[in-house]
Amino acid sequence: MSELLVEKQGGVTVLTFNRPDRMNAISGPMLSAFSEQLLEANRDPEVRVVVITGAGRAFCAGLDLKDQGGANLAGAGFDVREAPPVVLHQMDKPTIAAINGGAAGYGMDLAIGCDIRLASDAAKLSAAFTKRGVLPESGGTWLMPRLVGWAKASEIFFTGRTLTAEECLELGLVSKVVPGELLMKETLALAQEIAANAPLAVQGTKRMMRMALEESFEANVHHVYLQLLPLFRTKDFAEGVKSFLEKRAPKFEGK
């Protein structure tokens, strides 16, 4: 059975880590397949949203330290520029993490690297890096301070703390906590709500938000204006205006 399941539901692609017996710890082949699927989803015009989750009781327990091919990215000859955290950050397609259980180490970084996170009431984020003699190697040191602030990120990382789903909700790390049996239903409903909007506009919005992290307000306003010009020429813009005037739901084609 594949260690990474890929399912397409309309404009939504669901990627499921599928090593439940190993708490979905990521092996070397799994790491490469995951990165390839993210890149493919970002290229595919039919894909509008990507959902990431785990099979069984865990979201992802991190890199499989017992797997010789996957424990060390550099040692495995893996191009860091194509590593999943980098690909996630550079994707224009919206990403949602459906955190069904424990997300530890690399798995936690992947979860917080997604645009939106929903969690089951059994979910946990474990920042146990310093308890293992390492540091958040996959984007966590960049992401966490931006999500919760410097002081709280310092507290979480320096102590190696594990956060419950409710603690994640209080910190704003997840948007919603739901019973486990409702997690995918809620996540897919949100994904379909996003997918119903004009995909080029959604992707452009994400791109401008990402650029804003590194530039001044004035520079971002300028880039947003440049992004608007091609959108004004799309069929979806015409459909958006027409559907508004006709008081009906729009039907966007991504063109």
pLDDT in tens, 16-70: 999 999 999 998 888 889 999 999 999 999 999 999 999 999 999 988 867 544 4
Q: Give the pLDDT score at 82.
A: 60
CATH of 199-245, one of 1.10.3470, 3.30.70, 1.10.260, 1.10.12: 1.10.12
Q: Give the pLDDT score at 67.
A: 59
Tokens standing for residue 53:
């989750």
Phi, psi of 152 (to 5 degrees): -70, -40
The domain at 4-195 falls in which architecture? Answer: Alpha-Beta Complex (3.90)
Give domain limits for the chain. Answer: 4-195, 199-245
Half-sphere exposure of 65 (CA within 13 A, CB side): 8
Q: Give the pLDDT score at 1.
A: 61
Q: Give the pLDDT score at 78.
A: 47
Residues of the chain with pLDDT below 70 are: 1, 65, 67-82
Strand partners, 99: 119
Q: What is the dihedral of CA 202, 208, 211, 212, to 10 degrees?
A: -120
What's the pTM?
A: 0.91
The angle at the Cα of 171, spanning 161 to 48, to the nearest 5 degrees, equals 105
Tell me if 69 sits within 8 A of 32, measured CB to CB. no
Q: Give the pLDDT score at 68.
A: 45
